[in-house]
Amino acid sequence: MFRMICVLIMLSACTNNESTHSPIANKSRVSHWITEASKSFVFIETAISFTTVCNGEQSGCVETSKAIHSAMGSGMTIKQKGGIYVLTAGHICQPQHYDPLLLPLGHTGTTTNYLMGHGFYGNKTEFEILGVNIAKDICILKPKSRWISPPAKLAKKMPKQGSSLYMVAAPLGIFEPGVVLGFDGYYAGLDSEGDILVSMPTRPGSSGAAILDKENKVVGIIHSAISRIENVGIGTPVTAIHELFKTIDK
């Protein structure tokens, strides 16, 4: 598929089985699904600090550390194998693997990633990165302290093509405790690269947002959009998320 893809990272420093022809059956049920998903939502702030590295042969070299990158994204609390985790996009966790301007830094010093999550109830904590699939652009995080956001569940497989789907996200960083934006759309299918295509509005800050089915289970994670088309989102399917958890278990 030929397309111009825009990674949906929001920079804060520099920069059902229903047919596609059927209406959404019950708006009160849709509202309930969105409300429940909102309680599991996580607003993520990420930053990278860079530390220069000196060795004995460099006269006058002084080790320094400074923040070089900060951004915002979305995430979803889930329960898997008895533990509580947060799912988000890979480029939210480790932007240095996706931004060509950040890639050279590893040759001249060391980088440290910091991730802070804010929940629906005003709770917040730092996260550690448990696993990242760079190619699939997904990341699994673990809270460093007690995390009270109720978890969603992972779907076992993708829904049928044309199914109604839902998403909670923080496009353009729009988030407040108790206030999370919800969106609905349809599942178009998987493209030639194995990514999900959904008819949902996506903007910078939507990266890492969970795509949910009618049972409020996560079927994918948004990571990109198509340039100049507002209501199309591109994401990683739940099958890749299950595979990443298997890797962590090993």
The pLDDT tens digits for 32-46 are: 678 899 999 999 999
Residue 80 to residues 27, 47, 139, 180: CA-CA distances in angstroms?
30, 27, 14, 23
Rounded CA-CA distance 92/31 in Å is 28
227, burial (CB in 10 Å: exposed 0-12, middle 13-18, buried 19+): exposed
**Confidence band of 59 (pLDDT split at 50, 70, 90):** low
* pTM for this predicted structure: 0.81
Higher-confidence position of 240 and 27: 240
Task: For the chain, give the number of residues.
Answer: 250
**Confidence band of 13 (pLDDT split at 50, 70, 90):** very low
Rounded CA-CA distance 209/149 in Å is 15
181-194 pLDDT, tens digit per residue, is 999 999 999 999 99
Which CATH code is given to the segment(s) 5-10+27-51+67-249?
Answer: 2.40.10.120
* Per-residue burial over 52-91, b = 16 or more CB atoms within 10 Å of its CB, e = otherwise: eeeeeeeeeeeeeeeebbbbbbbbbbbebeeebbbbbbbb
**Confidence band of 6 (pLDDT split at 50, 70, 90):** low
- Say what the pLDDT of residue 81 is: 84
Pairing verdict, β 210-212 and 10-11: unpaired
- Say what the pLDDT of residue 16 is: 37
Rounded CA-CA distance 228/137 in Å is 21
Look at the block and give the residue holding tokens 């099958």: 239
pLDDT at 5 exceeding the cut of 90? no
Average pLDDT, the chain: 83
Higher-confidence position of 64 and 16: 64
106-133 pLDDT, tens digit per residue, is 555 577 889 999 999 999 999 999 999 9
